Amino acid sequence: MPTFDVPGAVLDWEISDEGGEPVVQLHGLTSSRYRDRVLDLDLGVGLSGTRLLRYDARGHGRSTGRPVPEDYRWERLADDLLRLLDHVFPDEPVHGVGPSMGCATLLHAITRAPERFSALTLVVPSTAWETRQAKAADYLAAADLVEAQGMAAFVEAGRLAPRPPATVEAPETVPDVREDLLPALLRGAASTDYPPREAVAGIAVPTAILAWTEDPAHPLSTAQALHDLIPGSHLVVAATPADLSTWPGRLHDQVVAVSGREG
C-alpha cells in the first residue's frame, strides 16, 4: 500500500480508481478502514465509477503515530486529511464520507477549506458541543483504564455497553490501534470538539447525515443539530440492521446526484 508522510506520522492509504468522481472515506476512533468494513461502515463498498480514497488516520490501522494526545485532536486530523487530498486529488473538490471521528474530521476540514469538497456524507455524528463534556470524561477514564489494566479491560468494558439496534448483527471487533497509543488517542478525543456552530452553518455543499438510534456516543441530538445548521441537508435515521444496509446505496445515489452522471 502507498504511504504519505505528515508531521509526526505516516498515513497508509489506498485508492480504487474506476474514473469518475473523487471520494474520500474516513473511519471512526479506534477503528481503521479494515475494521469499518467488518462493522458494515464501509459505505464505499460497491461504489463503482469513482476514484475512492480510503486511509487509516494517524495512530490507527496501518498508519503510524506518536503517544501524544494533541496529535489526535480533530483539528490535527483535518490537517492530515487536507494534506493527503492535496497529494492524491490536487485542485479537485472531493466528496467526503466518514463516521464519528471521521465525520468530525470532515467538519473541521470543510470549514477551513470549503473549496476542497463537493459534498459530504456525515455518518453517525458523535457527541458535540453540550454533550461533549460528559463524553470527554468517559474517554479520560478509559485512558486511565488502559494504562492500569491494558487493552483487554477496555475491550471488555465496551463489550458490556448496549449496542445500537441498527448494529446488533455486526460482529464483535477489537480496536485496530496499538495498545501503547490507545491512551493518547482517547485523551486527544477528550480534548477536542466540533467547529463552532456558526462555522458549520456556513457549509454550502450537498450534505447527507446518516444517524442511528439509541447510541449515547452518537446521539441523535448531534445529527439533528447538524441538519438544522447545514442548509439543505438531508437526515436519515436507521433503527434496524435493514435500515443500515441501505446506507451504501444512499451514498451511491448522492454521488450520482452531485456529479450529474447516470447511475
Domains of the chain: 3-258 (3.40.50.1820)
- How many other C-beta atoms are found inside a 10 Å radius of the C-beta of residue 228? 13
**Cα–Cα distance measured from residue 179 to residue 157, given in angstroms and rounded to the nearest whole number:** 15
Q: In one letter, which amino acid is 197?
A: R
Closest CA to 24 of 114, 105, 125, 100: 105
Lowest mean pLDDT of 4-8, 134-138, 151-155, 256-260, name the range.
256-260
- Give residue-wise pLDDT tens across range 198-252: 999 999 999 999 999 999 999 999 999 999 999 999 999 999 999 999 999 999 9
- How many other C-beta atoms are found inside a 10 Å radius of the C-beta of residue 124? 27
Share the mean pLDDT of the chain: 95
Confirm if 137 and 221 have CB atoms less than 8 A apart.
Answer: no
**Cα–Cα distance measured from residue 70 to residue 211, given in angstroms and rounded to the nearest whole number:** 28
At residue 96 the predicted structure's pLDDT band, cuts being 50, 70 and 90, is very high
- Give residue-wise pLDDT tens across range 37-73: 888 889 998 788 999 999 999 999 999 999 999 999 9
DSSP 43: T
Confirm if 116 and 110 have CB atoms less than 8 A apart.
Answer: yes
* Composition of the chain by helix, strand, coil, percent to 5: 45, 20, 40
pTM exceeding 0.95: yes
